[in-house]
Amino acid sequence: MPLPNNVLAILWWAAYTVIGVWAHRTLPGIDFFAPGLILSLQEQSGGRTALLALVWMLLAEGTGSLPFGYGLAWYGLLAVMFFSGRWLFEARSFLFMCLIGLGLGLLHPALTLGLSSLAQLKVSLERLVLEGAMQTAAFPLVWLAADNLFPKRLRQDARPL
């Protein structure tokens, strides 16, 4: 008997989150949940995406070392980038994903520097720029992998945004 769509969605996103946490441990400074958020915005209902964003925001904030604010701004601005870019680009195009990756690559050093200066913390700019470059490269690739692995059945169970 096949799994109900809701159960399959929970299992799929739970597995994605577990892999994401291990990826965060392996490659610090790079967000592997961001491509998942975009995939969720493309394929699922807004409520489910908001719940995922909340969980991932708490994970990013909890494992991070900056005062609260990075995750909220990071995922908030990611959603803004996606919705504003949809006016110009096809929402599922790889080029659009590369541009969002570039935006995140620029956002990461700017956001970290801004928040660390507010909290009077010293951070290395060189490392942040390198992480931004890695984020730019990783984002479209992770999105592509997640998009290919996302169950076909779940693509139809909710109206895309």
Supply the DSSP string of 50-112, one letter for each residue. Answer: HHHHHHHHHHHHHHS-SPTTHHHHHHHHHHHHHHHHTTTS-TT-HHHHHHHHHHHHHHHHHHH
Residue showing tokens 């008997």: 1
Among residues 113, 33, 101, 28, which one has the least CA distance to residue 63?
A: 28
* Residue in 9, 13, 24, 102 binding other proteins, rule: CB under 8 A: 24
Q: Is position 4 an interface residue for other proteins (rule: CB under 8 A)?
A: no
How many residues form the binding site for other proteins (CB under 8 A)? Answer: 44
| Binds other proteins by CB under 8 A, chosen from 3, 10, 18, 149 | 18
Burial class (CB in 10 A: 0-12, 13-18, 19+), 8: middle
Residue 30 binds other proteins (CB under 8 A): yes
67 binds other proteins (CB under 8 A): yes
Nearer to other proteins, 95 or 110 (CB): 110
Residue of 5, 12, 21, 79 interacting with other proteins (CB under 8 A): 21
Query: Does the protein bind other proteins through residue 83 (CB under 8 A)?
Result: no
CA 33 centroid distance within chain: 4
Q: Which residues bind other proteins (CB under 8 A)?
A: 17-18, 21-22, 24-25, 28-31, 55, 58-74, 76, 108, 112, 115-116, 118-124, 127-128, 131, 135
